[in-house]
Amino acid sequence: MGSTEVSTTCPYCGVGCGVRADVAPDGEASVRGDPGHPANRGKLCSKGSALGETIGLDGRLLHPEIDGRRTDWDAALDRVARRFQDTIAEHGPDSVAFYISGQLLTEDYYVANKLMKGFIGSANIDTNSRLCMASSVAGHRRAFGEDVVPGIYEDFDEADLVVLTGSNTAWCHPVLYQRLLAARKARGTRIVVIDPRRTATADECDLHLALDPGTDVLLFNGLLAHLARAGVLDRDYIAASTAGFDQAVALAAADAPGVEHVAKGCGLAPADIRFFYELFSVTERVVTVYSQGVNQSAHGTDKVNAIINCHLATGRIGRPGMGPFSVTGQPNAMGGREVGGLANQLAAHMNFDNGGDVDRVARFWNAPEIATRPGLKAVDMFRAVGEGKVKALWIMGTNPAVSMPDAGRVRGALKACDFVVVSDVTRTDTTRFADVLLPAAAWGEKDGMVTNSERRLSRQRPFLAMPGEVRPDWRIICDVAIRMGFGTAFDFVNPAAIFREHAALSAFENKGERLFDLGALADLSDEDYEAFQPRLWPARSRRQAGRLLGDGRFPTPDGRARFIAVRQEGVALAATSEYPLALNTGRLRDQWHTMTRTGAVPRLMANTPEPMVDLNPHDAAAYGLADGDLAHLSTRYGFSRARVRVTEAQRPGQAFLPMHWSGHFAANSGAGTLAAPITDPHSGQPELKNVPLRIMRE
Ligand code: SF4
């Protein structure tokens, strides 16, 4: 490969920015934003612009290993296939599991899901996207009948009010935030930020509602009741396109009987709530954006539905500048949802609980052992590993030893597990537990498809040769499947062939019941796939898709959306005298996940070179801590340490710790070690935003 520019996609957040990558003959790579990509129109954030500095081989896994010793691919793949076969033969298909990643490309995800659900016969395949947006998936399914994001990024340009709730968009989806600020400058878009912390996102807003942790349902129930009282409901839309309004609004009114009640429950000023409710009432073009602050909660699904209820009640959905809008954390969280990468989904937006879907997928795959019921979601999966019920585990492209809640217990489970396979790009805290280590291709070497938060499919293309003996994930998975005796079903020659099968499955016996449909892409030639230009799904015809659900028809049996009656439940774990603070975790602007890539770039490390815990001055004084002190943090799940940053951005009684650090980078066991393994009953997503904390000087 010479110095030709290659169009690819950023491997970090769900904005899914287009990147133009160029490698000079001396091996130096440079990147710039792709001006032709509709998601970013040439812009990149600090992480994206530093991608060229992350392609070195320091720390790369270059050769397969068994028990810490270098081996060859045949020996490694034989060992994986044989141990999985033996375990299944002795203990049944549910004794094995895959834990995969939103970093995988759609084709990797597809074959992993096909192997586990169609050929091994278990649905024990879950993904780190469970920690990111599973509550949005569950909320969308409850309200719309399918996991559909109705909006597109142009809605950010065309809205008159954007409500950012549980979303530090300025840091976590920076290019989208810049797009919103450009729209604000051009048309005066109003912005409301709902977040317990005063984040960088709140620097530019008309109103910041620093509500108490876990009170989002109360706030949005109060909004629904206010909309009803103020007479700004779209009665025609409610009658023609929805069901369940009366129950939802009655419960909302009982739960949130007035502004004063909401203000008291949320810890907000009544005047601020009135301002928000009035602004929402009088503005037709409203987009409500939500991400991890809503999803990562023991009641995340109810929060999502409380938001969607307000948009359904006003008919503001799927039209220009209107709608609920979940933004995903990872580059291919959405692609994973499409292939059924979550343990409770089948492929192509089909489900275990929809009659006929299991049979349909089995017939399409000619699958010998199709799974018939959901498998273990992430937290339960690692619990089952710890209990010895899952005896063989394959982890692909993710670092659960750091990122899972109650990570200390997860590390113990991995240590005790009979057989652990890890395929990854670099050594991590998790690779330490691998019996077999498989070196996977990295960004810049990989070739496949991803889908961003607005349902836009884009290509990740290679511009670097694969170093050492690394192989792409899809190839590794197929090679194991073939060794397990499933040859012809996994005899793919390239990612394009996998994508064609995925697209064909999405259209198989789909007469419009499922909106997710890539039928028009099922016969892409290899050349068409190579030249593929970003496009939104569905792709039923050559015509480009746009917003969805704006016609008032939903993919439910009766074509109507569902209001979901929800009530404020409070936080799962309240502060105690022993653990008096509420710990919130999240991302920094310049880091990505557990820093395996961004941690290697000095300029990205410069802003925050070590883990910092943010504390309000009142709490710092109460615990005898000053700015820069090293603090010992403990919860009932584990302990960690971080340097104190005293800031008014943090409300009294609350602390914030970035999720990124681990023992790999600092004398710190990480935010995951402190977090609670308590999950939402509908989505299985863990509570990562509120765990009782004790803090003292180290
Ligand atoms: Fe990458 Fe997200 Fe930054 Fe875009 S906004 S360059 S996708 S990290």
Average pLDDT of every residue of the chain? 94
Is 322 found in the same domain as 337?
A: no
pLDDT tens digits for 70-128?
999 999 999 999 999 999 999 999 999 999 998 999 999 999 999 999 999 999 999 99
Residue 128 lies in a domain: no
Q: Is the CB of 472 under 6 A from ligand 1?
A: no
- Classify the C-alpha dihedral 650-654-660-663 as positive or negative: positive
Structure tokens at 170: 């300025």
Residue 188 lies in a domain: yes
- List the domain range (segments joined by +) for residue 634: 581-697
> Mean pLDDT throughout 390-400?
97
Q: Is the pLDDT of residue 598 over 90?
A: no
Is 76 found in the same domain as 27?
A: no
pLDDT tens digits for 346-387?
999 999 998 799 999 999 999 989 999 999 999 999 999 999
CATH number of the CATH domain containing 490: 3.40.50.740
Residue 545 lies in a domain: no
Is 256 found in the same domain as 141?
A: yes
Is residue 668 a contact partner of residue 642, using CB atoms and an 8 Å limit? yes
Of 480, 233, 505, the C-alpha closest to 360 is 505
Radius of gyration, alpha carbons of the chain = 24
Helix, strand and coil in the chain, % to nearest 5: 35, 15, 45
Residue 636 lies in a domain: yes
CATH number of the CATH domain containing 613: 2.40.40.20
Q: Is the pLDDT of residue 621 over 80?
A: yes
pLDDT of residue 433: 97
Is 196 found in the same domain as 115?
A: no
Between the CA atoms of 670, 671, 676 and 679, what dihedral angle is there, to the nearest 10 degrees? Answer: -120
At position 559, the amino acid (one-letter code) is G
CA atoms within 13 A on the CB side of 653: 11
| Residue 669 pLDDT class (50, 70, 90 cuts) | low
Closest residue by CA, ligand 1 atom 3: 45
Rounded Cα distance, 448 and 462, in Å: 9
Q: Is the pLDDT of residue 664 over 70?
A: no
> How many Å lie between the centroid of ligand 1 and the Cα of residue 480?
33
Q: Is the pLDDT of residue 665 over 50?
A: no
Is 142 found in the same domain as 277?
A: yes
Which among 489, 512, 530 is the end of a domain? 530
Is 349 found in the same domain as 314?
A: no
Comparison of pLDDT for 587 and 383, the residue scoring more = 383
Is 151 found in the same domain as 116?
A: no
Rounded Cα distance, 227 and 234, in Å: 10
Q: Is the pLDDT of residue 186 over 90?
A: yes
pLDDT tens digits for 462-506?
999 999 999 999 999 999 999 999 989 999 999 999 999 999 999
- β-pair type (207-209, 190-194): parallel
Rounded Cα distance, 156 and 692, in Å: 36
**Strand partners of residue 644:** 613
> How many Å lie between the centroid of ligand 1 and the Cα of residue 422?
27
pLDDT of residue 585: 87
Q: Is the CB of 685 under 6 A from ligand 1?
A: no
Atom of ligand 1 nearest to the CA of 13: 2
Residue 550 lies in a domain: no
Tokens 């779209």 belong to residue: 234
pLDDT of residue 298: 93
Calculate what percentage of the chain has a pLDDT beyond 70. Answer: 99
Q: Is the CB of 17 under 6 A from ligand 1?
A: yes
| Residue 667 pLDDT class (50, 70, 90 cuts) | very low
Which among 286, 312, 329 is the end of a domain? 329
Q: Is the pLDDT of residue 666 over 60?
A: no
pLDDT of residue 668: 55
Closest residue by CA, ligand 1 atom 2: 13
CATH number of the CATH domain containing 209: 3.40.228.10
Is 42 found in the same domain as 111?
A: no
> Mean pLDDT throughout 596-615?
86
Rounded Cα distance, 341 and 354, in Å: 17
Residue 539 lies in a domain: no
Q: Is the pLDDT of residue 684 over 80?
A: yes
Residue 91 lies in a domain: yes
pLDDT tens digits for 12-54?
999 999 999 998 887 788 999 999 999 999 999 999 999 988 8
Residue 598 lies in a domain: yes
| Count of domains observed in the chain | 4
Is 164 found in the same domain as 50?
A: no
Among 197-206, 348-357, 483-492, 661-670, name the one with the lowest average pLDDT. 661-670
> How many Å lie between the centroid of ligand 1 and the Cα of residue 15?
6
Mutate to test the pocket of ligand 1, among 8, 13, 32 (most ligand atoms within 8 A of CB): 13
Cα 152 to chain centroid, rounded: 17
pLDDT tens digits for 569-584?
989 999 999 999 999 9
Mutate to test the pocket of ligand 1, among 8, 9, 10 (most ligand atoms within 8 A of CB): 10
pLDDT of residue 663: 61
Comparison of pLDDT for 468 and 667, the residue scoring more = 468
Is residue 411 a contact partner of residue 425, using CB atoms and an 8 Å limit? no
Atom of ligand 1 nearest to the CA of 175: 5
Q: Is the CB of 480 under 6 A from ligand 1?
A: no
Which among 511, 530, 549 is the end of a domain? 530
Is 267 found in the same domain as 183?
A: yes
Among 98-107, 211-220, 538-547, name the one with the lowest average pLDDT. 538-547
> How many Å lie between the centroid of ligand 1 and the Cα of residue 555?
31
H-helix or E-strand containing 693? strand 691-697
| Residue 55 pLDDT class (50, 70, 90 cuts) | confident
Predicted-complex ipTM score: 1.00
pLDDT tens digits for 284-343?
999 999 999 999 999 999 999 999 999 999 999 999 999 999 998 888 888 899 999 999
pLDDT of residue 586: 83
Measured between alpha carbons, how far is residue 487 from residues 209, 409, 483 in Å?
Answer: 56, 37, 7
Calculate what percentage of the chain has a pLDDT beyond 90. Answer: 86
DSSP 288: E
Is 437 found in the same domain as 468?
A: yes
Is 474 found in the same domain as 343?
A: yes
pLDDT tens digits for 503-534?
999 999 999 999 999 999 999 999 999 999 99
